Amino acid sequence: MTAVAQLVEQQGGVWQVSGDIHFDTVVSLNDAGCDVIAQSDGRCRFDFSGVSSVNTVALSLLLSWRRKALQRGIEVEFCALPSVLHAIAALSDLQSLVVAPEVTG
């Protein structure tokens, strides 16, 4: 049974992604994330530490949110991504999408 994917606001403007990101949950999750980005005033951070399982569609989700953020001039950050998503990104030559930005200073 697939756990419903959810997006819940945490402290400091961080959005917690939880549940399973699969073909039957990604559309509603994408819509929710796009709404968050559209209402953002400069930066969005999505924390995936609550995600139970993913498949290849999760990579499409990240691409969609990144595209929406670029259109709006919003900085978007993905953190605590599941290791399987890193593997999928490597196979797709999209590692830059899942690598956390370097912190300077």
Is the separation of the CB atoms in 41 and 11 below 8 Å?
Answer: no
Q: What is the pLDDT of residue 8?
A: 94
Q: Specify if 91 maps to a domain.
A: yes
Q: Specify if 3 maps to a domain.
A: no
**Total domains present in the chain:** 1
Q: Specify if 61 maps to a domain.
A: yes
Q: Specify if 6 maps to a domain.
A: no
Q: Specify if 57 maps to a domain.
A: yes
Q: What is the residue range of 33's domain?
A: 19-98
Q: Specify if 104 maps to a domain.
A: no
Q: What is the pLDDT of residue 12?
A: 82
* pTM confidence score: 0.86
Write the CATH number for 77. 3.30.750.24
Q: With a cut of 70, which residues of the chain have pLDDT below it?
A: 1-2, 97-105
Q: Specify if 7 maps to a domain.
A: no
